[in-house]
Amino acid sequence: MIRTANLRVYLEEAAVAVRGLPEAPTQLGSPMSVGVALTMERSGDDAYTTEWRGNVYRCPRTPMVRMLEGLLALRAASSQLGPPLFPQSTVDDARDRLQLLKQSETGVAHILTSAWHVPMRWFVPFAPDQRELVDWPETSIRYRQLVGEGLGRLDDAIEILEGSEIPPAIAAEVQELRSWLGDFPPSAMLELDYGSVARFFVETELVLDESVADLWGSLDALSACDWKAAGDRYGALVERWALPMAIAYSN
């Protein structure tokens, strides 16, 4: 089974209710398919529910939207390495279906999923002291943050990256994340969940994980033109994630 991490946006319960979603998750349905893609995820447009800071939040799953977006992203990535994995007819069908879904209120993806690792840019919206160790169903790491505060940290990071000698592609990736998050209200809650990717680490490594602190330590050093400190902190981050990222890129 592929290990995955997730970045989720949870809306305040009243905001989700307006969207007309069910009050509770649906039962597991039949496998969904589109073109050459298949998933066993349940097909209903229900939502994950959680409580945070005394309020109830819900994260719409929109599984078909995420499935279509994933298919298009995989096709784009594979075409840069060799012959595309999917024929153009499959791509055109997926793009048309995605466009129709996005014209409705349930067509916005509230969940980003990454196979085998946590992308470095996902750490940017969070502060080091927002790290939580969770132990269900197994030990893992979770960060939670208001969307409005996360957007502020993304803006700060983009300004630092664009003002440095870092390759423009890195700032572009952070900007892409900022564009996605900017579609949600500032009062929504953003959650980074290591999910099953946490299984790459023993519990002691998770307890000592300071990925967000290392990333922001590197950015702050860049802002101060301290290239050595920036390289050291980013090097520590890359070293921690070397195994998961190697598996991700080899796949």
Q: What are phi and psi of 172, to 5 degrees?
A: -65, -35
- Quote the tokens at residue 109: 């993806």
Extract the tokens encoding 25: 């998750």
Burial of 215 (0-12, 13-18, 19+ CB in 10 A): buried
CA-closest candidate to residue 188, choices 24, 14, 21: 14
Q: Do the beta carbons of residue 139 and residue 193 sit within 8 Å?
A: no
Structure tokens at 155: 């803006």
pLDDT value at residue 40: 46
Q: What's the first-to-final CA gap in the chain, in angstroms?
A: 13
Confidence (pLDDT) at 27 = 32
What per-residue string of b and e applies to 28-57 under the rule 16 or more CB within 10 Å gives b? eeeeeebbeeeeeebbebbbbeeeeeeeeb
Paired sense of beta strands 111-115 and 55-60, if any: unpaired
Give the per-residue pLDDT at 16.
63
What are the residue boundaries of the structural domains of the chain, listed by start? 1-115, 122-251
Phi, psi of 31 (to 5 degrees): -60, 140
Mean pLDDT by 10 residues, the chain (251 residues): 90 67 37 47 68 92 66 59 69 72 66 90 97 89 98 98 92 95 95 95 95 98 96 96 86 61
| pLDDT score for 18 | 47
Beta strands in 70-219 (DSSP E): 111-115, 131-134, 140-146, 189-193
- Global pTM reads 0.78
Residues 6 or more apart in contact with residue 7 via CB below 8 angstroms: 111, 112, 114, 122, 190, 191, 192, 193
